[in-house]
Amino acid sequence: MNDYILEMNNITKEFPGVKALSDVSFKVEKGEIHCLIGENGAGKSTLMKVLSGVYPYGTYKGDIVFEGEVQQFNEINDSVRAGIGIIYQELALFPDLTVYENIFAGNEIKKGPFVDWNETVVQATRMLKKVKLNVTPETLIKDLGVGKQQLVEIAKALSKDVKLLILDEPTAALNENDSENLLDLLKELKSQGISCIMISHKLKEVISIADKATVLRDGKTICTLDAQKGEITESIIIKNMVGREIEDIYPKRPDKKIGETVLKLTDWSAYDTQLGRKVAKNINLEVKKGEIVGIAGLMGSGRTELALSIFGNPKNYKLAGELEVHGEKKNFKHTSDAIKAGIAYVTEDRKGDGLFLIQDIKINVSAAHMKGISKKGILNLNEEVKVGTEYKKSLNIKASSLEQVVGKLSGGNQQKVSLGKWLFTGPRILILDEPTRGIDVGAKFEIYTIMNELIKEGLSIIMISSELGEIMGMSDRIYVMAEGAVKGELAIEETTQETIMELATQ
């Protein structure tokens, strides 16, 4: 007798032109943490959307058995009622409402026809305790960091008596500390009998938490690995995910040629008038030709703010100090000035301001450099297709066609489109902000390889990253930031995870 809480049998789901899932079977036992892993576009999110009723019964083939009963979910509420709670990577909270209002939004506690606010606050407090979140229920969501918002989402799911909790890349936007807290919470929920499916690209996490791990590739189930049998190891996972062995995920750069200084900041400060404080403080920093400079630091340390202040200052900070690009003093009034000076910034927030989600791939790739596909001010659509095709191929963007709407691509493939868009502006200095967030190991390797090729062509890269492995694996030199200031500069040879963390927490 098995004790499955969930059995998904022979699931097939097609979109116009794409078979996202083909005959997938996936089983989760009661009380286990089951990780779902696979390359970008493998079908992980789609499988979970089939399960939760986002794609209703009838729009896919195959069946779903939950707690021993065949289910036909017509909408998300049906799966919620059955005890399935799904937390998407893009959090669905209302930023201007309080924690307690969010926890019970759409599931209000009523006394007669009215919402019972007293009871709501009492229950919300109980839920916050369950997820070990130490804030008052009256706190506004927008005043919480992402890590804490994530916990509110889980509290919300728990308030609905969830039996199976699904998390789609829950730690992608969290720092190491918040991630650890979240994983601890999942283990605790497991001890209370709540089963969990977690999608993650972070193999370390999968190894530390999974009882089982199912690998999807190209919409098919490849295998289910079992921790008890010692099958959940990095090499076994990678081999099954990409279908080949990858020796070292940080490709070597044998003939390093580091040249003159291309970007220099002297006593550079940025004051945010809205927040009423300095977000960048007296920064001195240098980037050389052919160099990858890593910027490490915890979430909120001012790395993105620094990047924005250099990239034409779109947030209108009050700037002080000096910015030199290729030996010339610059005073950018607008991001277009920075682009003209050869700087490109690939944002970490590809959904917010990086891409036009309702437009297709080719339009997005050309978006930051329309001149590149125009002649005498007239748009050349053939050229747009040509450029789009080039980047789709060189960045290995997985999509049915160039006309596919970017919002419907998988997370990792959106990141590649974003990179393509900025590469097409022909930058000399490329600022990458969390370039591999949400990206699978195979695609990471591809992005690192592209970075190395760009460096070889004489570009310079500033890489902001919260992943210590990546910072150490790719950078030539590292600046560590905390509280808006550079706390230290490290030569790669002298860098360890500990030295970075020491500086980052100063």
Q: Which stretch binds ligand ATP (CB under 6 A): 38-46, 72-80, 105-113, 450-458?
A: 38-46
Residue 43 binds ligand ATP (CB under 6 A): yes
Cα torsion angle, 371, 376, 379, 384, sign: negative
Q: Which amino acid is at 408?
A: K
Residue 46 binds ligand ATP (CB under 6 A): yes
CB 269 within 8 A of CB 281: yes
Residue 466 binds Mg ion (CB under 5 A): no
Pick one of 28, 34, 44, 472: the residue that binds ligand ATP (CB under 6 A). 44
Which residues sit opposite 322 in a β-bridge? 266
Residue 409 binds ligand ATP (CB under 6 A): yes
Residue 42 contact, options Mg ion, ligand ATP, none, Cβ 5-8 Å cut-off depending on partner type: ligand ATP
Question: Shortest Cβ distance from residue 279 to Mg ion (Å)?
Answer: 31
Query: What 3-state class would DSSP assign to 172?
Result: coil
Q: Which stretch binds ligand ATP (CB under 6 A): 125-133, 187-195, 284-292, 409-417?
A: 409-417
Q: Which stretch binds Mg ion (CB under 5 A): 137-145, 276-284, 411-419, 476-484?
A: 411-419
- How many Cβ atoms sit within 10 Å of the Cβ of residue 352? 9
CA distances from 124 to 148, 159, 178, 334, 457 (A): 14, 8, 21, 45, 56
Q: Which stretch binds Mg ion (CB under 5 A): 41-49, 147-155, 210-218, 469-477?
A: 41-49
Q: Which stretch binds ligand ATP (CB under 6 A): 204-212, 343-351, 359-367, 407-415?
A: 407-415
Question: Shortest Cβ distance from residue 411 to ligand ATP (Å)?
Answer: 4
Pick one of 4, 15, 117, 250: the residue that binds ligand ATP (CB under 6 A). 15
Residue 41 contact, options Mg ion, ligand ATP, none, Cβ 5-8 Å cut-off depending on partner type: ligand ATP
Residue 278 contact, options Mg ion, ligand ATP, none, Cβ 5-8 Å cut-off depending on partner type: none
Measured CA to CA, the distance from residue 455 to residue 314 in angstroms comes to 27
Nearest to 355 by CA among 408, 314, 431, 303: 408
Pick one of 170, 342, 412, 427: the residue that binds ligand ATP (CB under 6 A). 412
- How many Cα atoms are found within 13 Å in the side-chain-facing hemisphere of 78? 17
CB 459 within 8 A of CB 431: no
Cα torsion angle, 246, 444, 496, 466, sign: negative
Question: Shortest Cβ distance from residue 15 to ligand ATP (Å)?
Answer: 3
Which residue's Cβ has the minimum distance to Mg ion? 45
Residue 45 binds Mg ion (CB under 5 A): yes
**Contact track, ligand ATP, 352-391, x by CB under 6 A:** ----------------------------------------
* Residue spans of beta strands (DSSP E) within 140-240: 164-168, 195-199, 212-217, 220-226
Residue 398 binds ligand ATP (CB under 6 A): yes
Residue 45 binds ligand ATP (CB under 6 A): yes
Nearer to ligand ATP, 49 or 281 (CB): 49
Residue 437 contact, options Mg ion, ligand ATP, none, Cβ 5-8 Å cut-off depending on partner type: none
Nearer to Mg ion, 45 or 452 (CB): 45
Residue 123 contact, options ligand ATP, Mg ion, none, Cβ 5-8 Å cut-off depending on partner type: none
Burial of 151 (0-12, 13-18, 19+ CB in 10 A): buried
Measured CA to CA, the distance from residue 173 to residue 144 in angstroms comes to 14
Query: What 3-state class would DSSP assign to 314?
Result: coil
CA 395 to centroid of chain Cα atoms: 18
Q: Which stretch binds ligand ATP (CB under 6 A): 41-49, 145-153, 228-236, 324-332?
A: 41-49
**Could you tell me whether strands 261-272 and 318-325 are parallel, antiparallel, or unpaired per DSSP bridges?**
antiparallel
Residue 15 contact, options ligand ATP, Mg ion, none, Cβ 5-8 Å cut-off depending on partner type: ligand ATP
What number of residues does the chain have?
A: 506
Residue 351 binds ligand ATP (CB under 6 A): no
Measured CA to CA, the distance from residue 166 to residue 85 in angstroms comes to 6
Sheet holding 61-66, edge to edge: 18-29, 4-15, 61-66, 69-71
CA distances from 402 to 358, 360, 486, 504 (A): 13, 7, 42, 42
- How many Cβ atoms sit within 10 Å of the Cβ of residue 107? 11
Q: Which helix (H) or strand (E) holds 483?
A: none
Nearer to Mg ion, 354 or 411 (CB): 411
Measured CA to CA, the distance from residue 332 to residue 286 in angstroms comes to 18
Residue 362 contact, options ligand ATP, Mg ion, none, Cβ 5-8 Å cut-off depending on partner type: none
Q: Which stretch binds ligand ATP (CB under 6 A): 15-23, 101-109, 144-152, 475-483?
A: 15-23
Residue 18 binds ligand ATP (CB under 6 A): yes
Nearer to Mg ion, 45 or 269 (CB): 45
Pick one of 5, 38, 158, 178: the residue that binds ligand ATP (CB under 6 A). 38
CA distances from 314 to 263, 307, 323, 336 (A): 19, 10, 16, 10
Residue 408 binds ligand ATP (CB under 6 A): yes
Nearer to ligand ATP, 399 or 474 (CB): 399
Give the footprint of ligand ATP on this chain (CB under 6 A): 15, 18, 20, 38, 40-46, 398-399, 408-413, 440
Give the footprint of Mg ion on this chain (CB under 5 A): 45, 411
